[in-house]
Structure 1
C-alpha cells in the first residue's frame, strides 16, 4: 500500500512519510521542524510535523492554569464580596453592588482583549504580549487580591481601594491582554498551507482545555475558600506563576510571527477614511487609492467580526447569570454543595456536550448544511431553557418558604440550568471563536479575537449591569438572607432575560440574517486563501504526480 498522502488531505501533513510528497519550497533543513513557509513579507518560518505536542502543549498549559485561576476567582467572587466566606473580614457589598462589581470586572476582562490584540498584531507580537500581560498585570493583580483576603495585612480595616485595584483593574486587564492572543499563538503553530485542516481540531482542544481549567478551579478554590478564603486566593498566584515558567521554557519551540506594524498603521489609516467623507472602497488601488484591493477587503471582513459576534449576545446575557443571579438564588436554597461549586456543572456540561457534538451532532449538521445562525439559534434556545429553569426554581422558593428563615428547596435543582448553559456554549461562544478566525484577515487575527471577546464578554456584561441596576428593587439587599430572597421579585428580572433570549432565537432564524452571515464567511474564506492559492495548487499538483 502506498504511503503517499491523499491530495484531498494536503492540509494535514503530519508524518515523515508524507514529506516525500511535499514540494521543496515547503521543506527546511531542520529535522525537528521540517516544514517551512515564506510569508508575503519575505519572513521564513519553520514548523513541526506534530505542533500539538511539539509546541502547542506549552501554550495549552498556560491557558489551562490561567483559566483555573480566572474561573476559580470568578466562581467565588460574589460570595467573597458579600461576606459569605468570612463575615468578619469582607467588602460588605449588597447583592446588587456585588453583581455590578462582578459584571464590571468581567466587562473589563473582555474589553482588554481589544487593546491586547492591537498591541500584539502591531507592536510586540503574540509571545511578548502574553509575557507582559501575565507578569506586569495578571500576577500583580492576583497577589493584591490575595493580600486583601488576609485580615489586617493591608490595614486595620478591609482595604477596598486595594481590592478594586486588584480585582477591577490589574487582574481583568491582565486576563484580557493575554486572552486575545493565546488562542491565536496556538493556531499559528500550524503550517498555513500544509496543516490548515489541523486548526479546527486545535480549537476543539483549546476550548476543552479552557473548561478543564475552569472545572478544576471551580472545584478546588470554592472548597478551600470554605475553610480559608485567604488560602484559596493564594493558589491562583502560584498556579499562574508555574504556568508562566512552563510557557517560557517552551519559547524556543514556538513559531513567533513578526508583528505587522505596517499592516496595523495601514488598517487604522483606511478605517479613518470615513472621517474624511471617503468610503473604505475608495482606498483600493483599483479606485485610485493607496492600498491593495485584497487588503481593503480584509479590513472590511475585520469589521464584520463585530456584527457577526453580536448575534450571540442574547445567549451571553443568559451565560453571565451563572456568576451573579444563579449564585444569589443558590444562597436561598438548601445547600448540599455551595453555590460556587454549582458552576462546575457548566464546565462538565461543556466537556460532555462537546464530545457528543463532535462525535454525532457536528457530522449531522454538516450533512444537512445547517447554517451558522441556525446553530446560534439552537444555542441561544439552550440559554432560554436555562433561564426558564431559573424562573421555575424562583417560584418554587417563594411557594415553599414557610417564614422561618430557612431554605426549603434543594440547590441541586439548579443543575439543569447549568447544563443548558453549557450545551449552548458549544453552539455560540465556541462557534464564535471559529467564525472569527475564518473571517479575520491573516494580519489582524489578534485584533479580530479581541473584537470577538469584547462583544460577547464585555458588551454583554455592560448590558447586564444596566439591567441589574434598572431592576435593583426586585433583588434582595442581603444576598445571604433567605427571608429577603423569599420576598424579592427576581423572577421579574428573569422574565426580561427570557424575552431577550427569545428575540435572539427568532432573529438568528431570519433568512436574511442567515444568508448574510453565510455570505460573509464564504467571501472571507475565499479572500484569505487567495494569497495561498498558488501554494495550494503547487502542493496538490506535486501530490498527484507522486500518488
Structure 2
C-alpha cells in the first residue's frame, strides 16, 4: 500500500508538469484545452469557411464571363488569365503556411490574409462600377478599369491562398488529441468542413451566378465582397473560444538544419544505441510538445543528431534533435502518397473541362427547360452535401463495428476509397460517351440526354468526400506540429499540379492521335473523335495510380509520438 501511495504521489506532479508544459507551448490565450468547448469554437470556423467559399466560388464560376464581356478579352487571353489566377490561389498557400508555422500562428495569419482578401474583393467591386467602353477597339490590359480589377483579383488570390492551409488546421487545433472522444470529434470536423465548402459552392453556382447574369457586375461582385466581410466577422466572434497554438521555429529552417548537419557529418558513424543520439532536455524552453521516437529509416539523416563534440550543442546547424530529424523523415515518407494526389486531381480536372465539352454535344432539352452543361456541376456539390452526413452518421459507425477502430476507416483507407471512386468516375464517363457516339453516328436514334452525365458528376462528389477529406486528415494528423500548415499547403498544391498534369496529358493525346492527318481523340467536333478512348485512358491511369497508392500505403510507417 505504501509503495502504491508513493507511486501516486510521484505520478501527480509529473502529470501537472506535462500539463503546464503543454499549456505553455500550445495555449497562448483563450480557454485552456481541457475546458474548451471544441464544437462551439469550430462552429464559428465552419460558418467562416462557408462564407469564404461563397465569395471564392462567386468569382471563380463566372470569372471567364467577366473577362470576356466586361474587359473584352478574347478566348485565349481569358483562359490564360483564369489559369494564372487559379494557379496563384493554390501556390499562395505555401506562403501563408510558412508565415503561420514560423511567425504569426494560424489565427493571426488568417486575420492578416482575410484583410488582404477583403481589400482585393472591394477593389474588384469598385472596378465594376467604372465606365465600360463599348466596341471591339477597347483597350484591354492597358485600361485603368483592368488595372484595378486585376490588382483586386490577385490580392484576392493571395488572401484566399493564404488562409486555405490555416483555417482547416486551426479548426483541427481546437481538439485535444490526447482525449479519444476529442479525436473522434476532430475526424468529424473534417467532414463538416468540406460540407461547409460545398454549401458555399452550391449557393454560388446557382444564386450568385444568377444574380451576376441578371443584375450586373456591380451587384454581382458586391455580394461576394459582403460574404467576405461576414466571414471575417464570424471568425472574429469566436476569438474568445479558440485554442491558439504557439508557432514553433520555421519548418523550412528546421529541415535545412537537418540536411546541413547531416551533410557536415557524412563521415560520422551512427551509434547502434539510439539513446546516444541528441534530444532536447525536458526543461528546455525549445522542447517540442510531441517528441518523436527514432525510426531506422533514412539512417543518413541520423548523422545530424550524433554528438561529436560538446561545442556543437549550441549550434543547430551542426547538431539537431532526434525529433527534428524524425520530422523530416515523416515529410519524406509522406511524399509518395502526396504524389498520388497529383494524379488524382489530374483526373478530377476533367470535371470542369472535357465533361463540359461532352455535355455540349448532348441533348440539353429537358421538358420545357434547356439545361446549360455547366449547371450540371451543381450535382457535384449536391453529392458532397449528401455524402458527408451519410459518411459521418452511417458509414463511420458501421465501419467502427466491423473494424473495431474508433475512427472506422483510417485516413489512408479513406483516401484509397476515393481513388477507387475516381476510376468509376472515368469509367462512367467513358460508357456514356461510347453510347453517345453510337447514337450520333447514325443508328437512327434520338440524341442522348445530358441527364446521363448526372451519375459521373455524383460519383465525383462521392470521390471528393472520401479522397479529399481523407487527404486533408492524413496531412494534418501525420504532420509534425511545427509543419501542419505547411503540409496542408502541400496537399493543396496537388490541385494545381494535377491541373498542369491534366493539360500535359491532353496535349500529349492530341499530338499523338492527330498524326497522319487524323481527327484525333478530342477534335472540335467530338462526333468525329473518340473522347471515350480518352476517358478510358484516364480510367486506366487512375487504376494504376490506385495500385501505386496501395503499395505506398502498405509501406508507410505512421509517426510514433
TM-score, normalised to structure 1, is 0.75
Aligned to 1:57: 43
Aligned to 2:388: 354
Instruction: Give yes or no for the alignment of 1:68 onto 2:50.
Output: no
Do 1:100 and 1:465's aligned partners in 2 also have CA atoms closer than 8 Å?
no
Instruction: Give yes or no for the alignment of 1:234 onto 2:222.
Output: yes
Aligned to 1:538: none
Q: 1:417 to 1:258 in 2, by over 3 A?
A: same
CA distance in 2, matches of 1:345, 1:42: 42
Instruction: Give yes or no for the alignment of 1:257 onto 2:245.
Output: yes
Aligned to 1:219: 206
Do 1:271 and 1:280's aligned partners in 2 also have CA atoms closer than 8 Å?
yes
Aligned to 2:109: 129
Stretches of structure 2 lacking an aligned partner (at least 5 in a row): 1-14, 267-299, 310-317, 515-522
Match of 1:466 among 492, 504, 514: 504
CA distance in 2, matches of 1:192, 1:378: 25
CA distance in 1, matches of 2:127, 2:436: 35
CA distance in 2, matches of 1:505, 1:444: 27
Stretches of structure 1 lacking an aligned partner (at least 5 in a row): 1-22, 29-35, 476-481, 528-547
CA distance in 1, matches of 2:307, 2:133: 63
CA distance in 1, matches of 2:130, 2:251: 50
Structure index of larger Rg: 2
CA distance in 2, matches of 1:255, 1:42: 6
Aligned to 2:302: 281
Instruction: Give yes or no for the alignment of 1:308 onto 2:308.
Output: no
Shift in Å, 1:129: 1.1
CA distance in 2, matches of 1:495, 1:150: 47
CA RMSD of aligned residues (A): 3.7
Shift in Å, 1:501: 1.0
Q: 1:64 to 1:468 in 2, by over 3 A?
A: same
TM-score, normalised to structure 2, is 0.73
Match of 2:156 among 171, 183, 204: 171
Match of 1:295 among 302, 310, 324: 324
Q: 1:75 to 1:500 in 2, by over 3 A?
A: farther
Q: Secondary structure at 1:428's aligned position in 2?
A: helix
Higher RCO (Cα < 8 Å, 6 or more apart): 1
Instruction: Give yes or no for the alignment of 1:320 onto 2:299.
Output: no
Aligned to 1:503: 544
Shift in Å, 1:503: 1.2
Aligned to 1:540: none
CA distance in 2, matches of 1:281, 1:229: 61
State which drifts further: 335-344 or 198-207.
335-344
Shift in Å, 1:496: 3.4
CA distance in 2, matches of 1:127, 1:41: 13
Instruction: Give yes or no for the alignment of 1:342 onto 2:376.
Output: yes
Q: Secondary structure at 2:61's aligned position in 1?
A: helix
Q: 1:107 to 1:444 in 2, by over 3 A?
A: same
CA distance in 1, matches of 2:456, 2:172: 33
Q: 1:287 to 1:115 in 2, by over 3 A?
A: farther
Match of 1:243 among 209, 215, 231: 231
Q: 1:251 to 1:458 in 2, by over 3 A?
A: same
Do 1:103 and 1:461's aligned partners in 2 also have CA atoms closer than 8 Å?
no
Q: Secondary structure at 2:247's aligned position in 1?
A: coil
Do 1:113 and 1:453's aligned partners in 2 also have CA atoms closer than 8 Å?
yes
Aligned to 1:440: 479
Shift in Å, 1:396: 4.8
CA distance in 1, matches of 2:534, 2:129: 36
Instruction: Give yes or no for the alignment of 1:381 onto 2:420.
Output: yes
State which drifts further: 162-171 or 184-193.
162-171
Do 1:148 and 1:154's aligned partners in 2 also have CA atoms closer than 8 Å?
no
CA distance in 2, matches of 1:251, 1:42: 13
